[in-house]
Structure 1
Amino acid sequence: MFKIIALPDRPMVALRLAGRSVLAPEGDNLAATLLREGFSPFRSTPKSGAARAAYCMMGVCFDCLVTIDGEPNRQACMVQVRSGLVVERQDGAPLAAGCRS
């Protein structure tokens, strides 16, 4: 669905997305790279476990939260791709018995 229209004049770097190695242009928007690579959902909500992915792409909605290099709650849309990034989905808390979403 998403693709690079023209290769930028930047080197391609390797990063890990949920254990999978991919190449992306250095300096690209991380959320755009995740969408292009089919990394969805980005996270699940703590209360209901609902799936979320990038929405606003400008740091307002917080739907693109992921774990980057072991640090949770990072907005993928506010991070630039760099060599060696390790990105994991961020899972919300499982539902407690009797809890509604």
Structure 2
Amino acid sequence: MRVLVVTEGIGADWLAEAKAREGLDNLILLPFQPFADVPNAIGTGAALVVLLEPDAGVYSVPSKTLAYLCADRPLLGAIPLNNLAAKLITRERRGAGRRAGG
């Protein structure tokens, strides 16, 4: 299995260091992609990962979550359960996995 991560900044730096340190040859790191290429990038995944911080807000559904839902792929989410994105993923039965503590 390959893990593709599209990110920049300190997260990308941390992942690059971990990749080198641990010899993670299956970890592919790419910088942010041009907007026109985003559908192709999302479409390559067998499953997509959504991370939302607790301060994202109860009523926040970031565009990446909506785009991932449109891609018709299972979602692996680390999202506060009271967030609207988590409720939407649960309602649409699009999550892959189980709820924390459940």
> TM range, normalised to the smaller chain?
under 0.3
- TM-score (norm. length: structure 1): 0.22
Relative contact order, higher structure (CA 8 A, sep 6+): 1
Normalised to the residue count of structure 2, the TM-score between the two structures is 0.22
Name whichever structure is richer in helix by fraction. 2
